Structure 1
Amino acid sequence: MSSPKPDAKIRVCVVDDDERMLETLTQAIHTHPDLSLLACAHTLAQAYEMLDLHSPNVVLVDLGLPDGNGLELIRYIHANRPGCESMVFTVFGDESHVIASIEAGATGYLTKDTRTEDIVSRLLQLHAGGSPISPVIARRLLTRFRALQPDAAPDNSPRLADAKHSQAPATLVTPLSDREMQVLEMVAKGFMQSEIADLMQVSINTVSTYIKRIYRKLAVNSRTSAVHRASELGLINLRERP
């Protein structure tokens, strides 16, 4: 991944009421050559005012704010700021908060035990088109994902889950191949393209081709949207419990 040019820094805003955390994040972002911290907000009300004054590329959002839920801000950004990405940064690591955040429009989810240097790298990944997820979150969600329902097609054939397992009707015109399903599973688990390439023992360009095909077949243009759409079609089930 190439770094942004010096004159095209990634503009970041932070929404968090934890003063110590804000201080740590502020220092880390200020000292990174590819990031520019525009402003910080402690409350939901301040966050809306901040967005009126600034045009960030990325907003780091805590879910538990004194005057409301960070999900409200994520929904607002998703609906009104198409050029801005939201990444959750919170103490909540349970499945319900993760799914609610994805549905609201978040494209990344980090827990507050994430190291500061990793937060900075995740901001860069998010702006580059990735969907960073804390490893602990990916591990928890891993057991919830099901690539096939019990009555789905055999492993050696293209797969499309039965519409009865999905709240939305199955409208996938071209089924995903086995390899595309394998990539989709790993995308849903939060793996980056380089990690998928290593696990599948293929080149990163091959993985990129698979992802483009998945996006085209699912009619989406981001990792988060692909996971959400695949869930709607019944290819994976974010809410299923063993």
Structure 2
Amino acid sequence: MLAIAIIEDQAAIRESLAEYLDAQPEFRCVLAAESVERFLACIGDVNPSPRLVLSDIGLPGGRSGIEGLPLIRQRLPQAEVVMLSVFVDAERVFEALRAGAVGYLEKSTMPEQVKEALLQVAAGGSPMSPAVARHVVRYFQPRRPDEELLSPREQQIVRAIEDGLSYKLIAAKLGISVETVRNHIRHVYAKLQVNSKLEALAELRRRGR
């Protein structure tokens, strides 16, 4: 079983997710905390350590879910973090991915789909919900000729996700394996992070810093 932890301030959602995931044969929910601070205070007493962390963004306390990402990764270097949030604006989506999240889901995602997304992460994938896919499409189009673009296959996959297709349906439609779909999504996330760093450096140079 995969050890999983949840960071969510709304008790009803936190308890519902914990109960659902703990009832699945693939998972064992070892910690459910209402804030990053509470999570960090309790994680040392948890055994086994979580391999997957599902975290909200808007949290009480001094740190948001995004601000907590580096701290979580520092304490749990082997764990993967997936964001689950009502916020699906491009700024927060990309900020979370650049801070180390391996996936980003809307809080309206059904529990069964959350489970599937976490299993994708455990298998080496990076789940992306349709709202995130829309931001990715807009981010890369149009781009300047000297910037890294999505490959034709990556564009096909992101647009299919935007249309609401599952990885399995995308694989069948394109005649490729689910593992190949996961790899392409990983590459898309990697390009987002590389581009952001290049743009940040260019902006600093423009400002003479």
Same fold (TM over 0.5): yes
Q: Aligned equivalents of 1:98 and 1:185: distance in 2?
A: 18
Percent identical residues: 26
User: Counterpart of 2:114 in structure 1: which amino acid?
Assistant: I
- What are structure 2's unaligned runs of at least 5 residues? 200-209
Structure 2: distance between partners of 1:101 and 1:42: 19
Aligned to 1:66: 60
Deviation of the 1:36 alpha carbon? 0.4
Higher helix share: 2
| Partner SS for 2:151 | helix
- Residue matched to 2:94: 99
Alpha carbons 2:82, 2:102 under 8 Å: kept: yes
Give the alignment of 1:77-226 within 5 angstroms.
77-146=72-141, 148-149=143-144, 152=145, 161-162=146-147, 181-186=151-156, 191=161, 194-199=168-173, 201-204=174-177, 208=180, 211=183, 224-226=189-191
Contact 2:167/2:181, CA 8 A, preserved across alignment: no
Q: 5+ residue gaps in structure 1? A: 1-8, 153-160, 163-169, 171-175, 216-220, 235-242
SS at match of 2:175: coil
Conservation of the 8 A alpha-carbon contact between 2:9 and 2:33: yes
- Cα deviation, 1:107-159, whole Å, max 9, x if unaligned, reads 0111111111111111111111111122222224322323752xx3xxxxxxx
**Structure exhibiting the larger radius of gyration computed from Cα positions:** 1
Aligned length in residues:
192
Please, what TM-score do these two structures have when normalized by structure 1? Answer: 0.67
Which residue pairs with 1:158 in the alignment? none
Q: CA RMSD in A?
A: 3.2
Residue 45 of structure 2 is matched in structure 1 by: 53
Give the superposition deviation at 1:48: 0.7
How far is 1:208 from its partner?
A: 2.9
Whether the 8 Å contact between 1:78 and 1:104 is mirrored in structure 2 is: no
2:23 aligned to which of 23, 31, 36: 31
